[in-house]
Amino acid sequence: MRVLVSGSSGFIGTAVLSALKEVGHSPLRLVRGPATGPDQISWNIGASRLDPGSLSGVEAVVHLAGAGIGDHRWTAEYKREILNSRVAGTALLTRALTQMEVPPSVLVSGSAVGYYGDRADEELTEDSSPGAGFLAEVAQAWERATAPAAAAGIRTVLLRTGLVLAARGGTLRRLGSQFKWGLGGKIGDGRQWWSWIALDDEVGAILHSLGTETLRGPVNATAPNPVTNAEFTRILGAALHRPTPLSVPASVLSVVLGQERSRELVLASQRALPALLERSGYVFRHSALAVAMPGLLAPS
């Protein structure tokens, strides 16, 4: 199957490309600059340019493109970039897909558990209501932008992903160095729920979504056993054989990251459960963080 992948140079995207090749698919990369090979298709979100003709033969799409939410301070300008890179990019892509002579059968489009906002101890499934806050608004607008594809009969899966864990990127790379120096500790009171997923399972969920006809609409891409930040801290410290005596007060974090960014990125609580993935037959490779963590920290 010819599978178009946006965000293919990112942490998740590079792993998706490798997995697609491994199982015999033919991945194509959607790139922002000029295409430099037969496996690349060029697009320009700012200029709203993506030629539907260039997509001829594409049978499925994995859409992961979007500016990093943890990469910069949330100035007004960068918040616009976070939103526009997702919403305008998704709108451009779905418009091109619906204009194809033969559209793809399936679109797996990125989203995030930030959709639910800060929900304390509430267990969140795909049927749970949307939340409030900047990231919730971004995720909701991001998902709405796929509507033309679904209306055109393209099976559309909205993958609401949690914290993606692997040694080479994401949350573990950011936290690993400070924990190794004995500077790890819980954040705030540590009671906020962190919904996590191993990179292997994130990729597995994407491939499963491509091939499972019963999946459509929102799908939580999170391990079955979310943990609190305090549990995450203890498990990571134990795996690295480092103490975790410290606690980072919310007030300090607010100064370092900015109030809104700290509140939504690390202090918000989302106890998301993968109800639809499990119901559709997906079997997680990593379901318990304490068991998974040593392997997740090993260089790949």
Domains and CATH numbers, the chain: 2-297 (3.40.50.720)
Q: E strands, 80-122, where?
A: 106-112
263 φ/ψ angles, rounded to the nearest 5 degrees? -65, -40
Predicted TM-score (pTM) of the model is: 0.95
Flag whether pLDDT at 226 surpasses 90.
Answer: yes
Per residue in 3-19, pLDDT (tens digit) is 999 999 999 999 999 99
Between strands 271-272 and 123-124, the pairing is: parallel
Judge contact between 124 and 113, C-beta under 8 A: yes
CA dihedral 95, 101, 105, 111 (to 10 degrees): -10
Dihedral sign for Cα atoms in the order 164, 281, 20, 116: negative
Residues in the chain: 300
Instruction: Check pLDDT > 80 for residue 214.
Output: yes
Tens of pLDDT, residue by residue over 167-194, are: 877 778 777 666 765 667 888 999 999 9
Which residues lie closer than 8 Å to 186 by C-beta, 6 or more apart? 229, 230, 233, 244, 246, 247, 248
Q: What is the pLDDT of residue 300?
A: 62
For residue range 239-258, what is the model confidence (pLDDT) as tens digits? 988 888 777 777 776 767 78
Q: What is the pLDDT of residues 263-281, one digit of tens each?
A: 998 899 999 999 999 999 9
Token pair belonging to 36 = 């430099």
Distance CA 196, CA 162 (A): 5
State the chain's mean pLDDT as an integer: 93
Residue 100 amino acid letter:
M
d(CA 70, CA 143): 20
CA 216, 222, 223, 229: dihedral to nearest 10 degrees?
-160
pLDDT of the residue at 182:
61
| Stretch among 15-24, 38-47, 233-242 having the lowest mean pLDDT | 233-242
Q: What is the CA radius of gyration of the chain?
A: 19
Closest CA to 135 of 160, 172, 166: 160
